[in-house]
Structure 1
Amino acid sequence: MTTNPRFLLPKLPPELRNEVYDYLSTPGLTSVATNTGLPIQLKTFASKHTSVQICPVHYGSTGLLALERYRFHEAREYRSWLLNNASELRFGITFDGRVNTFIQEDWDRKIEMHLCKLAKQHPWLRKVAKYNIQIIWNSTDGALKSKRRKRTMGQIPKDMVRTLTVLMDENVKRRNGDINVRLYMEHNIAVENALSATKFGLADFFSTPNGLGGCYRLTQEVWKQPRRKDSQLLRCSPKATTVQPTSEERIVLYTEKGLTNWATEKGGNMLIRQTLRANTELEITVGNLRLDGELGIDFVLMELVEESLGHR
């Protein structure tokens, strides 16, 4: 026996209901991201060099979504509207392998295979216009050895972003594509990079990835993680390259009580932000280059900013 659907707003036309849904889903200053009501939960793809986490989120009304079980028409309609209009894809990547044995083409192929499989099961994913990508860089073998420096480490996260965004429909990318990328450098990596003649290649990271020049907005940031005693001990060890990261160290995203959070929200210094709009308007913002409790500009932070601007 089937039950007839129930209505919350029986006299409200569809266009006005959409206005209500939009209002409920617009994030405010105190809004938190949630995965509640979405058909995909947090997924993790682990490999030798990286761990990739994928999770769709939204800022909408979980209360209205909960009414779907009671056969309210607006709840089912709101869920469909949310998937197609107000969802965000979050990607968390940890690079803790060896850059000199990492093969970008192999990584691209495996990730594209996972993404295409997801898109086949959930076609609405191709309509998601907002991507939030955070990459924690903690490679174990220092600088990338490349003949005549034709390739730098900075090209690796840039190419990763290009691969992740193949999931987005090209028309959506051009009209509404909003891609935010944060590259977090562990403290020990940042210090080694500042003192080394061979640099990370942050200027290459900030160059526009192929295929993203036409997106509506591309924001790229570089952050330095706070100093951690455990990471310092690992890097100082002569066997540092053989130490395997624990599962907790590879977590960038986690869900708790229905909320989706970043593990990186524990501190760090935002060094530089670059925003490119429609491949024409460029805005660069430099962050605070002083460490807490210090008066002068920090040498390591300044070196990273200078490198990002192509001065190193």
Structure 2
Amino acid sequence: MEGVTFNNSPAWTTHIVTSEQITIKGLVVKNPWYGTNTDALDLESCKNILMEDCVFDTGDDGITIKSGRDEDGRKRGIPTENMIVNNCTVYHAHGGFVIGSEMSGGARNLYVGNCTFIGTDIGLRFKTTRGRGGIVENIYASNIVMKDIVAEAILFDMYYMAKDPVVLAGEKREPPVVETLPVTEATPQFQHFFFNNISCNGASKAIFIRGIPEMHVKDIQMSNVFIQAREGIDIQEATGVQLNNINIHAVNKNPLVYTLNSSDIMIKGMEFSNKSETFLQAHGTRTKNVTVTLKSNQKTKNDIGFGADAKTIEIK
């Protein structure tokens, strides 16, 4: 598919299913910003994909990876895999590069690089929920530039609620009920994500990672990240998060980094603007092994409580 333009789609614009050896170049999608479910591109259970030089402006997700929903998707059992996305631009959309939430067949070995997201609700968006199942792993992103992101620059969320990522005026949303459920084939998994050279000028929150108690988001590695946002980093129910050479300029710095029931968190070479009222807030009985290394000798105030193992939390 090359040099094709689609305008004003009533639903998913380009939906490619159970296909292989796919090349997409110069695809342009223009849909109204208010169009519900008007994803620009959905690749579902596909293999060996090259995507380059595409431009999307739509009412729902932009570049979207899927692999079936719930039991039907698990029975089909075909992941989306082996994909390169290069030199693409996404303007208005719910997410720039998105995996989920229908990822029950899994997704793996995906690379997105040299892309620009301007005015999307979320930049890099990974969403799922209990009941989906499926393993999403080996996801790479590099040289991503974002600007004027409405919500999170980078989001992992295993409590996807099938709602607009931005809370509408007057809308009330209750936080999810946190409980530990048995691990089954319907339990989704996010693991092995590698990001490098990520920048964002303007977002509501820099990084939000939220797993579920019975299945943490695992092995997230980010290097050379610069984000200007209203809020900093929020890590909940995650294991093995490594952030190297991270520069966060946040308006609300109370706290700058929040962790809840997460372990083996390493933030190395952290730099931030001005003095943070509370730099690190570590809560939860399963929070342990948190290490933060600052670039400068800035003094920080920290809040470690609600069961967190203070002996295994270090800031230096």
Greater RCO (Cα-Cα under 8 Å, separation 6 or more): 1
Determine if the TM-score, normalized by the shorter chain, exceeds 0.5: no
Q: Going by fraction, where is helix more abundant, 1 or 2?
A: 1
TM-score normalised over the length of structure 1: 0.31
TM-score normalised over the length of structure 2: 0.31
